[in-house]
Structure 1
Amino acid sequence: MNKTMLILSLILSYGIYSDEPLNRGTTDGAFTTLMLASPDIDKYVDTLKSNTSAFSATGASDAGVCITRSGNEYAGQMMVWSAFPSVEAALVGSLKYDPQQAPESFAQLREPKYGVTWKAAKPWRLDPGYERVQRVNVPTDKLQDFVAAMTDLEKAIIEAGHSDFFNGVFLPIGGGTHEAQTVMVRSATPDASSFGKLFDEYFDGEAAWTDEWLALQAVGGTIISDSFEECEQTYSAN
């Protein structure tokens, strides 16, 4: 059953002050992410797959990892993500596991940076892949237009033959100075090849979705960071 987010929750999560509710098109559920640095990413991911106790303890429905492949801010950059049925469940779940008190088998394989909870501002399909991730500072009176333009762009790209493409716009809750005053945009394809084809279409002047891309740029906003992540699901409660 769909639940409508109150405008107050969006004000608190994004730090904006607007007279219009920004809850159209949101989905049930929420995500948490733990940003990490790992000296041995492959070994750490294997450890997560073999020991899922942290995910089950927090009540996550699904979980996985995203490894930063370009645009790194530090060596070994990655994150662990967890999906929850609601923001309430995400916040409560985050209190059931302290990454600073992890077993030695985990602690020696990663350095926690910070955690944050996310709420989707538009429908998001849980299908991890090769994802372009941008933090964008959107003018406070343009957020709803930005989300609508991202939705239009997604639709146009899918109709152009890229059926596995999708966009996400996420509002941060409790991300400290790291995520303040920005939204996270995730544009996902199954693999790097699929994403590369989108760029080639655009630069070759063959993109049928050019108008929607230009409309998104016209909304405004400043890109604060830009990276590519390779994501996978490593846990499901079902």
Structure 2
Amino acid sequence: MKKISRLILSLALPLMLSPAVFADDHAQEATMKGSFTTIHLSAPDIGKYVDALKNDMSAFQAMDATAGGYCQTMSGHDYPGQMMVWTGFSSIQAAMVGPTKYNPSTTTKRISKLRDVKYAVTWKPIKPFKLAPGYERVQRFKVLPQNVPAFVAAMSDLEIALQEGGHPTFSNGVFLPIGGGKHESQTLMIRSVTPTPELTGAMFDEYFTGKAAWAGAYAAVGQYIESIESDNFEMCQQIYAGN
């Protein structure tokens, strides 16, 4: 526990001391305010479970969520039926209080039969992030604590380079896990988002031509990554918006 606590503090402290790192005039809708929680699940019939979620927003309402949705894993699965339900909150405090008002492990029998809960975690965005769910590459990187500010700055530079290089709908986010147990304690989560798989695929095709104007910004990110711990694609959708 002490080791994990030290890691969280060592990751967060340089971010608090370096606010200039996060200035981003190119994404006015992006923000570092608020927090997210994710509940990671296995659902034998994802479509049926998602329909049940859409037909009953009481969980999001009970938690005073600002937004809510789901992500279905499309590749890089750790287990069959892999997906997660995400919830947005106005603050970390709200994200921690919310689950005390709704416990997914004690939900109705009808819902519990549709999925198996794996684990839950709280996330804090540590670079400006625009909530625009779509087709998302989700990676988990190990980054040395002292390199986190430079890594986040490089991710912001990459976002701008891609947007100015012909991909205006691209965005990315960097998230710090809080209370993720053994599942989410040693890595940062990176989400690279476009609206559709076609747009994501086009970026890959452009990169492999060797002529992408943003290739240098992409390479610059790599110098701060100690290891890549996971890599998958998710299709995400927002299904709830709070007041």
* Distance across 2 between alignment mates of 1:71 and 1:186: 14
- 189, 197, 201: which one pairs with 2:202? 197
- SS of the aligned residue for 2:79 comes to coil
Relative distance call for 1:141 and 1:62 in structure 2 (3 A) is same
Gaps of at least 5 residues in structure 1 are 1-10
- 172, 176, 186: which one pairs with 2:177? 172
Cα distance per residue 1:55-103 (max 9 Å; x no partner): 1000101100000000000000000000000000000001111111011
- 110, 113, 118: which one pairs with 2:115? 110
Asked whether the equivalents of residues 11 and 148 of structure 2 are also in contact (C-alpha less than 8 Å), the reply is no
* Distance across 2 between alignment mates of 1:35 and 1:224: 17
* Distance across 2 between alignment mates of 1:82 and 1:18: 23
* Distance across 2 between alignment mates of 1:190 and 1:29: 23
Q: Alpha-carbon deviation of 1:201?
A: 0.6
Query: Hey, what does 2:35 align to over in structure 1?
Result: 30
Q: Does 1:136 align with 2:127?
A: no
Q: Does 1:123 align with 2:124?
A: no
* Distance across 2 between alignment mates of 1:220 and 1:109: 37
Q: Which runs of 4+ in 1 moved over 6 A?
A: none
Relative distance call for 1:18 and 1:96 in structure 2 (3 A) is closer
Q: Does 1:68 align with 2:90?
A: no
Relative distance call for 1:222 and 1:77 in structure 2 (3 A) is same
Asked whether the equivalents of residues 60 and 84 of structure 1 are also in contact (C-alpha less than 8 Å), the reply is yes
Relative distance call for 1:103 and 1:222 in structure 2 (3 A) is same
Query: Hey, what does 2:25 align to over in structure 1?
Result: none
Cα distance per residue 1:42-65 (max 9 Å; x no partner): 010010000000010001011000
Q: Give TM-score, length-normalised by structure 2.
A: 0.90
Asked whether the equivalents of residues 13 and 172 of structure 1 are also in contact (C-alpha less than 8 Å), the reply is no
Asked whether the equivalents of residues 14 and 146 of structure 2 are also in contact (C-alpha less than 8 Å), the reply is no
Asked whether the equivalents of residues 14 and 148 of structure 2 are also in contact (C-alpha less than 8 Å), the reply is no
Q: Alpha-carbon deviation of 1:181?
A: 1.1
* Distance across 1 between alignment mates of 2:155 and 2:12: 21
Q: Does 1:59 align with 2:64?
A: yes
Q: Does 1:43 align with 2:48?
A: yes
Gaps of at least 5 residues in structure 2 are 23-30
* Distance across 1 between alignment mates of 2:71 and 2:10: 32
Q: Kindly, what percent of the aligned residue pairs are identical?
A: 51
- Equivalenced residues, count: 228
Asked whether the equivalents of residues 13 and 174 of structure 1 are also in contact (C-alpha less than 8 Å), the reply is no
Relative distance call for 1:40 and 1:120 in structure 2 (3 A) is same
Q: Give TM-score, length-normalised by structure 1.
A: 0.92
Query: Hey, what does 1:6 align to over in structure 2?
Result: none
Relative distance call for 1:134 and 1:14 in structure 2 (3 A) is farther
Q: Alpha-carbon deviation of 1:214?
A: 1.2
Query: Hey, what does 1:80 align to over in structure 2?
Result: 85
